[in-house]
Amino acid sequence: MTDLITVMWKEVVELFSNRRFLLIFTIVVLVMGILPTLHHGPASNSSAMMMFRLLYVLFATVIVVGQTAPDMVLHERVGHTLDYLLTTRLPGYAIFGAKVLISFAVGYIAALLALAIQLIVSGITGGSGWHWLFLAFPLGRVVAFGTTATLSLYVAVIGTFVALRVGEQRAAYLITIFSVALFIIPFLVGWLHFSLTTTWVTKFTIALGIIAFVLSRIGLRLFRREMLVLYLQE
């Protein structure tokens, strides 16, 4: 656990010294927080519009994690610090796990901040005082606090795993985002049918969490530092 915390602290320091990350994080949070009110208007209080606002929160999660997870690995590859990290005594779970957990946390925080900004902007511009928008509904709370968390973890695992094996930055980003788009396929071909109910979304959130956990275990098992060192030296 000490090794994991050590690497996580290193990742946090490096991440918040990265101006590109800070710029993207700030822009995404502000845009996904303010745009829904500008687009739909503060008076859009119907259930459908409130749930549509949640898409912006999910977009904030995907965009931030989709950029952060690969970038944390690729930044170290360019600076050749990943080579050194792989040759230390630090266990594989600490190296892989720290990158996944920090990426997950950043994405989840981005979602919560975008959500908070939506509430604040809507309250200021609405003219009807403070109201909770989608958080007033059980379904909204499940998506806002549950689905965003599992989605953030899923993208963090995929992004970290891909970046460790794909050296080209754009390819790593595209593959990470494509992994999210894969969820659309079962609905398009009719294997799954979407239902905007609390029960259905809760089951989907739990299933996504299980998938993310399983993928994280697979990613950790496939984490072979000897092979990665050789690959980075090519």
Domain boundaries, the chain: 2-233
> Is the CB of residue 74 less than 8 Å from the CB of residue 39?
no
pLDDT (tens digit per residue) in 119-129 = 888 878 765 55
pLDDT of residue 8: 86
Q: Percentage of residues in the chain with pLDDT exceeding 90?
A: 31
Cβ neighbors of 176 (< 8 A, separation 6 or more) are: 66, 69, 70, 155, 158, 159, 162, 163
* pLDDT-wise least confident of 53-57, 151-155, 208-212, 227-231: 227-231
Query: Quick count: other Cβ atoms within 10 Å of Cβ 130?
Result: 10
Confidence class for position 180, pLDDT limits 50, 70, 90: confident
pTM: 0.86
